[in-house]
Structure 1
Amino acid sequence: MSPVKPRLPRWLLWCVAVIAVAGFAALGRWQYARALEKQALLEANARVLAERDPRPLRTEAARDATALAWSAGEGRFLDAPALLLDNQLQGGVGGVRAYRAFMPEGASRAVLVDLGWFAVPQRTRMPRPARPEGEVRVRGLLATPPAPGIAMGVAVQALDEGRLLAMRMDMPAISEGLGVALAPRVLRLDPDLDVAGLDTGRRDLEVLANTLPPERHRGYALQWFGLALATAVAALVVGLRRPSR
């Protein structure tokens, strides 16, 4: 006679099922909320770029804001190291995104200016973007810096006397490395703007570069909601089935 296999108590089965369904549903709601957030960001970006009504960079740099804004103003690029943000992909090609600190005229905080993307075929040949001397006028899209992601390891390290390498956009660490107070937003240079003496790479005004688009988040949300539904159905089938003798 074969031994009788022990059964899980029905109450324990229901507890596990409820926890699993609640967890899957919570993940689905989070992914859907991220999709709505990014869709709203894309729509706001489209409106700002359609209007292109420039706000003074001096006053915008003084604000602790996160909203998108088209801005322009005079100032000078500081004699501070160039910042290279590592692990930036474009078309499957590895590279860095370069930044320089710009002090708007009459402002108390500098603005990081996005100089664009540079391909880095060899790690030993990082770009060294030049900066112009004296007063210049810049314009572009003020936006929040790229998301820092998971904080692991050192955020910023010195390559040499004139360059810093950032693993992620940790603004306090970058401000300390550059030795200047920074505004919370970065200026994405207008791709049509030509500043004499300033080295720039491939410039764009994408606000969701190197991140998931809204449709990907919606797809993940659907998967999590599907797992929640499948778990609930399986629990009902197993839990309501009459035990065999």
Structure 2
Amino acid sequence: MSFDGLSKTFASRRRNAGFYLHPVALLITLLAIAAMVKLGFWQIDRGQEKQAIVDYHATSSAQQTQSLTLEHIRQQSLQTDDQIEITGSFQDGAYFLVDNQTYNGRVGYHVVALLENEALAPYLVPVNLGWVPLGGPRDTLPEVELPQGTRTVSGRIQLPAERPFLLAEQEFSAQLPQRVQYLELDSIRAQTQLPLASFSILLNENIDFGFRRDWPVVVMEPHRHYAYAAQWFGLAIAALVIFLIANKRLARRPPQPLQQQHTSEDSGKNNKNGSGEHKP
């Protein structure tokens, strides 16, 4: 028996067994299910990471506020969400405008001003004062009035992300104010020689100066990630069920006997040969 005949015999036996598996369809289905399961577990991991951030924030919020010292800056001992307090004055016109920030559906900037304190010299502490609207064309920076005089700043520490998502590599200048995609403090310090601390302070929402502020602990709550994970797992199960049902229906089709298949093929060949002129 030829290879073609063995393949047809094997397919017929699978059909007679009540189930039919198409190799290509099986491979595609398995790859799709594997991808969806992987995405589900990835969402679970993200949810656990966000939950850890939320728990740490709750713990830090319950701790006593620390006074910022020069040792904190030199040793880089502060962590994200640590409660901090510092008294100083903002340098006039010395601020960054962090682009693409939204507030109640409106697009604008976060204003990060530089606070100086004699006890922390020569370091300048970036303080996020909150959100301001665009205020005009994008090629024109909005005019921002910083708080005047000596101010007591209290808020929580924010450390820059190690690998922020950026549309393009940023270039900074020492001329302020300036617009930035992201507050890359290490890069700003290296390119401008500004003596910036390695963190910024998110000004507390109950402070009576600054701009509009709403600091979410995480952008997406942990339960949202778990819900997405459940959806991916559900899609994987649905893909498997649909595949099994489709192959079950294929198996229910009455198979054509092998002898009849060969007869039909031979008849087709004869008809093809007979379509031309007959020789005497």
Q: Is the 8 A contact 1:97 1:115 kept in 2?
A: yes
Give the count of matched residue pairs: 230
Q: 1:176 to 1:33 in 2, by over 3 A?
A: same
Give the TM-score, by structure 1 length: 0.75
Q: Is the 8 A contact 2:78 2:157 kept in 1?
A: no
Q: Is the 8 A contact 2:157 2:199 kept in 1?
A: yes
Larger proportion of helix:
2
Q: 1:227 to 1:175 in 2, by over 3 A?
A: farther
2:57 counterpart SS class: helix
Counterpart Cα distance in 1 of 2:197 and 2:37: 38
Give the TM-score, by structure 2 length: 0.67
Offset of residue 177 of structure 1: 5.4
Partner of residue 201, structure 1: 211
Partner of residue 158, structure 2: 143
Find the partner of 1:29 among 31, 34, 41. 41
Per-residue CA deviations over 1:54-93 (Å, capped at 9, x if unaligned) read 2232243332654320012345545783111111111111
Matches of residues 117-156 of structure 1 in structure 2 within 5 Å?
A: 117-123=131-137, 124=140, 126-130=142-146, 132=148, 136-145=151-160, 150-155=165-170
1:122 counterpart SS class: coil
**Rg (Cα) greater in structure:** 2
In structure 1, list runs of 5 or more residues that go unmatched: 1-6
RMSD: 3.5
Out of 182-191 and 84-93, give the one that drifted further.
182-191
Partner of residue 60, structure 1: 72
Counterpart Cα distance in 2 of 1:47 and 1:18: 44
Q: Is the 8 A contact 2:85 2:154 kept in 1?
A: yes
Q: 1:227 to 1:71 in 2, by over 3 A?
A: same
Partner of residue 169, structure 1: 183
Find out whether 1:71 has 2:84 as its counterpart.
yes
Partner of residue 270, structure 2: none
Find out whether 1:221 has 2:229 as its counterpart.
yes
Aligned residues with identical type, % of pairs:
24
